Amino acid sequence: MLYLLQRLAPIILCLIFVVSCDIPTLQPPTTDTTQRRTQEALQLQQQGLQQLNQGKLREALGTFAQALDIFKATGQRQGEITTLKYIGQTYEKLREYPKALDYYQQALVIAKETDNKTEEMEIFSHIGVIYYKTGVYAKAQELYQQSLVMGKETNNMQAQAEILHQIASLLEAQQKPELAIVFYKQAINVLEGMEVDSKLSPQQQIQQLYTSRLTNTYRHLADLLLKQNRVVEAQVAVDSLKVQELDGYLNSVRDKAKTPQGMEYLQPEQQVVDKFNNEISLVVKQGKELSELQKIPEKDRTPQQETRRQELEAAQRDSLKEFLAFSDSPEVMAHVQELNRATGGENLNPKILRRLQDFIRQLDINAVLLYPLILEDRLELVLVTPYTPPIRRSVTVKRQELYRTIEEFRKALENPPNDAKKPGQKLYSWLIQPIEPALKEANTKTIIYAPDGQLRYIPLAALYDGKQWLVQNYRVNNITALSLTDLQQRPQNLKILAGAFTRGNYDIKVGKRTFKLGGLPFAAKEVENVTSAFPGSAKLIDSEFTEQETLKLMSNYPILHFATHAAFVPGVPDESFILFGDGNAASFRDLRFWNLSNADLVVLSACETGLGGQLGDGIEILGFGYVMQEAGAKAAIASLWQVSDDGTQALMNAFYAALQQDKLSKVAALQKAQLSLLDGIYDHPYYWAGFILIGNGM
């Protein structure tokens, strides 16, 4: 007998290993040893993640394997789950899908054993992606829906939005664009309906609401809507995207009472959503009751409880079967057919279309709205005119080619006498030429422009048609997003509060960076000129130009002109700042508490007030304008690059003269000032194109 036990011992140990996923040890490690080894495993995890992000996939697998061994040895079940998921993700990147699936399944077993619903939900989603990538769509749909049910059970709104996005992608791959649109809309509406945890820091609140993955939902939706010729809805999706991007970048949560949110469902879409959510609710309700019954040990269950448990399990199986057939059900197909009939070849949602067209018609300035959308394989242009249906033009240009041209154009703009016409003409052929007949037909004078991505790094006014710059034919009014901009007429009684930093040197420390900033010699003359032209204006120079004094006076002046340094700090946007003459700086956090409700215009005339760092996604370009609008200002003027002092002074003199003497709108005054420089010694766009108007240009 003893001999038999000795022979069976390795097998028994092996079975224990398989069942428990723990490495058996004769003596458990001490607490100190466990803590030390756990820390070692966590460090290995981080090292593996770095290797994964650097594309060193095989190295990452080895590092993760070391971490996994330690977590198993120390009984750290959560560490096992996390590391197994990382290994699965690595194999997924290697496209070794069977191995990825194996490791996700191992993680799922542990998640179920430890009753970790959040991990179960995430792993189901990961496994669903594997089946999606391998074309097993029915299995992917089943797993996504199981994951969504768990998201509902745990009230995890962000997870629900992500899973709805995955379901939409799956439907899109199955050539069901109408249903895919419904689920992309649902994902957006769940995201925008989220309530943030007030106990979290602002950064954590935004992380809760905003991820690059979810902003892709807006792009996917807009892309699909455009392919279906549902242009008005696509414009609304692009508009919402811009709001989300700015919120995410600036760590601010939008005032939901003031800003419209969510995507509107068409009636057939609403019926699909209602049917889907009713079925989800039923599965969730059954799941909660079943979970409570399963917590009761089998020996302690009453016969009635055991019968009910079996009934619920059978009901759930039936519900999931029906759920899986959801998109092909006769009821849903009827709604899809109705949707096709309702949208036809061109969906003109009357409510949205009237709002857009009334908006630009009331301006009475021959304006159009231009929304470009950068996609991987093309550029989509959406143009809204006062009297015609929305116009959509698709331009075949790869994103990377577009970005290379933008960078080339910007370098030429920043460095006179480099030729900016060649790249400017190429961009004109992509952005303006496809819609030029419509612009002429509408007798367009003003383009209300909502740039996307890296298009924010270049001024539309400096595009070149082969004979003329765009500014010679059109005014350009940038907006952060239509839903954030109220383009009403400006006040008639104009006077200016101007501040200038002219002398001294200050160091402004932001994180690990130090900005060494010196006085601006031309600033005193600049503010003297602008204030003398407007009776009742006031100026603050150097030590008088403090934040406290500015705040005390600003509500009495509709125009605020700051001839001082301002910097947008990439990566930590809340630390971006405006420098005052006494050496103190106001950060974006401070600006949000300013009361700019009486300010018609805030001008930031020093260098780089609109840009910091390398070309990225361009969100920071609209940063100052957005923050100023948040604080109540109607508009802001900021610069895209380092503009020369003499060029700035000439432009500002011409701009304010056009405002005061010619009684022009802000956007028309900026155009006239730019044209005056173009016709003189400052003809290169470096001098006249650097300043952009953001917000209410009337």
The DSSP result for 526-591, as a single string, is HHHHHHHTSTT-EEEEGGG--HHHHHHHGGG-SEEEEES-EE--TT-GGG-EEE-TTS-EEEHHHH
Q: How far apart, in Å, are the Cα atoms of 592 and each of 253, 482, 662?
A: 12, 20, 33
Any alpha helices (H) in 325-446, and if so which ranges? 330-343, 350-363, 399-414, 421-431, 436-441
Q: What pLDDT, on a 0 to 100 scale, did the predictor assign at position 16?
A: 32
pLDDT for res 317: 72
pLDDT in tens, 130-178: 999 999 988 898 889 889 988 888 888 889 999 999 999 999 999 999 9
Chosen domain end from 420, 445, 478: 478
Residue 397 DSSP SS3: coil
Top mean-pLDDT range of 53-67, 339-353, 563-577? 53-67
pLDDT at 264 over 60: yes
Concatenated DSSP letters for 446-508? EEEE---GGGGGS-GGG-B-SSSBGGGT-EEEE-S-GGG---PPPPSS--EEEEE--S-EEEE
Looking at residue 20, its pLDDT comes to 36
CA 161/CA 190 separation, integer angstroms: 6
DSSP 596: -
- pLDDT at position 23 over 70: no
Q: Does 370 share its domain with 327?
A: no
Entry pTM: 0.77
443-479 CB burial, b ≥16 within 10 A, e <16? ebbbbbbbbbbbbbbbbbbbbbbeeebbbebbbbbbb
3-state secondary structure of 252: coil
For residue 54, the domain's CATH number is 1.25.40.10
pLDDT band at residue 272 using 50, 70 and 90 as cut-offs: confident
Residue 379 CA to residue 480 CA, distance in Å, equals: 19
**Stretch 20-36: mean pLDDT:** 56
What pLDDT was estimated at residue 326?
65
The answer on 516 and 409 residing in a single domain is no
List the domain range (segments joined by +) for residue 186. Answer: 136-193+206-273+306-347
Q: How far apart are CA 60 and CA 41, in angstroms?
A: 13
Region 516-542: what's the mean pLDDT? 92
Question: Tokens 């106001």, residue?
Answer: 586
User: Sorting pLDDT into bands at 50, 70 and 90, what band is 21?
Assistant: very low
Least confident of 153-162, 568-577, 684-693: 568-577
Residue finishing a domain among 347, 367, 396: 347
Do 362 and 336 lie in a common domain?
no
646 contacts: CB under 8 Å, gap ≥ 6 = 522
Output the six-digit token pair for 495.
């006077």
Say if 250 falls within a structural domain. Answer: yes
- 401 and 331, same domain (yes or no): no
Between strands 505-510 and 513-518, the pairing is: antiparallel
**Does residue 234 fall inside a structural domain?**
yes
In a domain, 486, yes or no: no
C-alpha 270/C-alpha 260 separation (Å) is 19
Query: Do 662 and 547 have their domain in common?
Result: yes
Query: How far apart, in whole angstroms, are the C-alpha atoms of residue 665 and residue 433?
Result: 27
Q: What CATH number does residue 586 fall under?
A: 3.40.50
Residues 324 and 247 in one domain: yes
Residues 106 and 141 reside in one and the same domain: no
Whether residues 521 and 554 fall in one domain: yes
Residue 488 located in a structural domain: no
- Please give the structure tokens belonging to residue 449: 């422009």
Query: φ, ψ for residue 261 (rounded to 5)?
Result: -135, 155
Going by pLDDT thresholds of 50, 70 and 90, the confidence category of residue 443 is very high
Q: Which two tokens stand for residue 596?
A: 């700019």
pLDDT tens-digit map of 210-245: 455 667 899 999 999 999 888 888 888 888 888 777
In a domain, residue 357? The reply is: yes
Angstrom distance (rounded) from CA 26 to CA 248: 52
What integer pLDDT is reported at residue 18 of this predicted model?
33
Is residue 398 included in any domain, yes or no?
Answer: yes
Q: State how far the Cα of 609 lies from the Cα of 320, in Å rounded to an integer.
A: 56
What is the count of structural domains for the chain?
Answer: 4
- Element (H or E) spanning 598, and its range? none
The arithmetic mean of pLDDT across residues 34-41, rounded, is 88
Q: What is the mean pLDDT of residues 533-555?
A: 95
pLDDT at 232: 83
Which of 314, 330, 347 is the last residue before a domain boundary? 347
- Let me know the angle formed at the C-alpha of 191 by 398 and 87, rounded to the nearest 5 degrees: 70
Is 28 contained in some domain? no
Are 236 and 383 found together in one domain?
Answer: no
Query: Which structure tokens are listed for 33?
Result: 């040893």
Specify whether 445 is located in the same domain as 546.
Answer: no
538 forms beta bridges with 497
How far apart, in whole angstroms, are the C-alpha atoms of residue 268 and residue 335?
A: 5
What CATH number corresponds to the domain at position 390? 3.30.420
What is the Cα–Cα distance from 247 to 206, expressed in whole angstroms?
8
Cis peptide before 29 (omega within 30 of 0): no
Is residue 497 a contact partner of residue 559, using CB atoms and an 8 Å limit?
Answer: yes
pLDDT digits (tens, 9 = 90+) for 583-614: 999 987 888 789 998 999 999 987 665 455 56
Backbone angles phi, psi at 87, to 5 degrees: -65, -40
Average pLDDT, the chain: 83
131 part of a folded domain: no
pLDDT at 427 over 90: yes
Residues 372, 238: Cα–Cα separation, whole Å: 9
What residues form DSSP beta bridges with 372?
381
If one compares 634 and 202, the residue with the highest pLDDT of the two is 634
Q: Which of 21-25, 215-219, 436-440, 659-663 has the lowest mean pLDDT?
A: 21-25
Q: Are residues 324 and 459 in the same domain?
A: no
Query: 324 pLDDT band (50/70/90 cuts)?
Result: low
* Nearest in space to 230 (alpha carbons), one of 390, 403, 119: 390
Q: How far is CA 686 from CA 526, 667, 691, in A?
A: 19, 19, 10
Amino acid 464: pLDDT:
98
φ, ψ dihedrals at 32, nearest 5°: -60, -45
Question: Cα–Cα–Cα angle for 219, 397, 389, nearest 5°?
Answer: 60
pLDDT tens profile 356-406:
777 787 777 789 999 999 999 999 998 988 877 788 899 999 999 999 999
342 and 354 part of one domain: no
pLDDT at residue 201 above 60?
no
